[in-house]
Amino acid sequence: MSSLPLVRWRLAQVAAHLVVALIALVVIGGATRVMEAGLACPDWPLCYGSLLPGSQMNVQVFLEWFHRLDAFVVGVALIAQLVAVLLWRSELPNWLPWFCAGLVFLVLVQGGLGALTVLQLLPSGVVTAHLALALMLVAAVSGLSQRLLSSSDMASPLWWRLMGGASLLAVLAQCLLGGRMATAWAAQLCLNGGQACQWLQWHRISATPVAICLLLFVCTAFAVGGWPRSQWPFLISVLGLVATQISLGFLTLHLGLSQPVVTVGHQLVAALLVALLAALTFRSPEESTLSLSAVGESSSMEPSHG
């Protein structure tokens, strides 16, 4: 911290906590879908015409209401972050105001997609785009937290950024394929009536090359040695998350999608992988103490309210 301006350090902490809130947002959104609560609040942005529904409150309404609340808090935090960056821009990199403005734009678009999911009665394409943008925000803010921790222009090796970026894109593509399958209820249709099984097949088949891509990234880092090998706790975490994700995928199908906790856990691990890979991709050799704290904290989901 001593080599970083205080405002930059504080912004890095804000970004780390925003990663947690965004992962919580993705997971709560997944729980909302699994519990078929996407239309529990029939209006938008209010819920039954009020900020806090009273007599209508149940588990489904709470999930949809809390999902919107977390999204609102994230939006306010990103706007506050942009204001802070503009106020102290003389102490910050020139690219940062533009990047933070882009994040605010993305969250506004995300809010619009959230409104469309309700007003157009959960169209599959819109819901999938809603998930895609959420994961993009997770990756962008996670990477931002690492760049803010870098006190110079020192960058990680080119191969590290290329392989890390490729791994991140592969996981994002796999998440979107799974999201498209989920929003079309293809897995349920396939298991119950043998319909729309191509989505399930594609999701299962594509999991293998994605896992191989991540394994190559980790193995290369260990083989090269030096700074890449020193990231071994996070590289091992990538392997652990991949193994957990594959196990949860098999368990979800084995249970016939009957256990919402397992299905939501599958989405949680996917969001954690996106955050961790983005952080590793944009990580610099000089970063230390705060780095990747968001990923470590996110499993508890305690700061999910912002």
DSSP string, the chain: -TTS-HHHHHHHHHHHHHHHHHHHHHHHHHHHHHTT-TTSS-SSSSBTTBSS-STT-SHHHHHHHHHHHHHHHHHHHHHHHHHHHHHTGGGS-THHHHHHHHHHHHHHHHHHHHHHHHHTT--HHHHHHHHHHHHHHHHHHHHHHHHHT-SSS----HHHHHHHHHHHHHHHHHHHHHHHHHHTTHHHHHHHHS-SHHHHHHHHHHHHHHHHHHHHHHHHHHHH-HHHHHTHHHHHHHHHHHHHHHHHHHHHHHTTT--HHHHHHHHHHHHHHHHHHHHHHT--TT--SSTTHHHHHHTT-GGGG-
Which of the four pLDDT bands, split at 50, 70 and 90, describes residue 299? very low
With beta carbons less than 8 A apart as the criterion, state whether 174 and 206 touch.
Answer: yes
With beta carbons less than 8 A apart as the criterion, state whether 297 and 274 touch.
Answer: no
Range of the domain at 108: 6-305
Q: Is 273 domain-assigned? A: yes
Average pLDDT over residues 87-104: 93
Q: Is 253 domain-assigned? A: yes
Which range of 37-46, 142-151, 275-284, 290-299 scores highest in mean pLDDT? It is 275-284
Q: How many CB atoms lie within 10 A of CB 97?
A: 14
Question: What per-residue confidence (pLDDT) applies to 152?
Answer: 60
Per the model's pLDDT, the better-predicted residue between 101 and 297 turns out to be 101
With beta carbons less than 8 A apart as the criterion, state whether 281 and 136 touch.
Answer: no
Question: What per-residue confidence (pLDDT) applies to 42?
Answer: 85
pLDDT at 84 over 90: yes
Nearest-angstrom CA–CA distance, 231 and 292 = 11
Half-sphere exposure of 224 (CA within 13 A, CB side): 18
pLDDT at 303 over 70: no
Q: Is 91 domain-assigned? A: yes
Per the model's pLDDT, the better-predicted residue between 191 and 22 turns out to be 22
Residue found by looking up tokens 């193994």 in the block: 243
With beta carbons less than 8 A apart as the criterion, state whether 274 and 245 touch.
Answer: no
With beta carbons less than 8 A apart as the criterion, state whether 272 and 210 touch.
Answer: no
- Each residue of 222-232: pLDDT tens digit? 999 999 999 99
Per the structure, the count of domains in the chain is: 1
Structure tokens at 149: 């921790």
Average pLDDT over residues 177-192: 77
Q: How many CB atoms lie within 10 A of CB 129?
A: 20
Q: Is 1 domain-assigned? A: no
pLDDT at 82 over 80: yes
pLDDT at 211 over 90: yes
Q: Is 140 domain-assigned? A: yes
Question: What per-residue confidence (pLDDT) applies to 183?
Answer: 75
Residue 244: name the closest of 217, 279, 268, 213 by CA.
268
Which of the four pLDDT bands, split at 50, 70 and 90, describes residue 294? very low
Structure tokens at 218: 């980790």
pLDDT at 96 over 50: yes
With beta carbons less than 8 A apart as the criterion, state whether 37 and 63 touch.
Answer: yes
Residue found by looking up tokens 């999938």 in the block: 128
With beta carbons less than 8 A apart as the criterion, state whether 242 and 211 touch.
Answer: yes
Q: How many CB atoms lie within 10 A of CB 164?
A: 23
Q: Is 77 domain-assigned? A: yes
Question: What per-residue confidence (pLDDT) applies to 286?
Answer: 65
Q: Is 49 domain-assigned? A: yes
